[in-house]
Amino acid sequence: MSKPVVQCPTCTTEVVFAPESRFRPFCSERCKLIDLGDWAAENHRIPDKSPVAPELGEAYLAELEAELMGQDNEFFRN
């Protein structure tokens, strides 16, 4: 009996859908976190004032802020 294989939603790597694939349907914890992050970004637009992970640099934050500002402006125009 062959095991079902699914594609990792993040990177489309084939993942055996079995208990040994700990992060199924994702190929890895990293892909799982990326997907959850995307989901959070898409569905929770409420400004998050929680502490920022230290690995996120100032440039990234500025970019993120600019993006959020742009979305707010779009929102108010409509």
Tell me the DSSP string of 52-65: PPTTS-HHHHHHHH
Q: Which of residues 15-74 bind Zn ion (CB under 5 A)?
A: 27, 31
User: In sequence order, what are the residues at sequence separation of 6 or more whose Cβ sits closer than 8 angstroms to the Cβ of residue 4?
Assistant: 16, 17, 18
Of the residues 4, 13, 57, 61, which one makes contact with Zn ion according to CB under 5 A: 13
* C-beta of residue 11 within 8 angstroms of C-beta of residue 23: no
**Considering the rule CB under 5 A, would residue 8 count as an interface residue with Zn ion?**
yes
- Of 8-16, 36-44, 55-63, 68-76, which part binds Zn ion (CB under 5 A)? 8-16
- Closest to Zn ion by CB, 13 vs 71, is 13
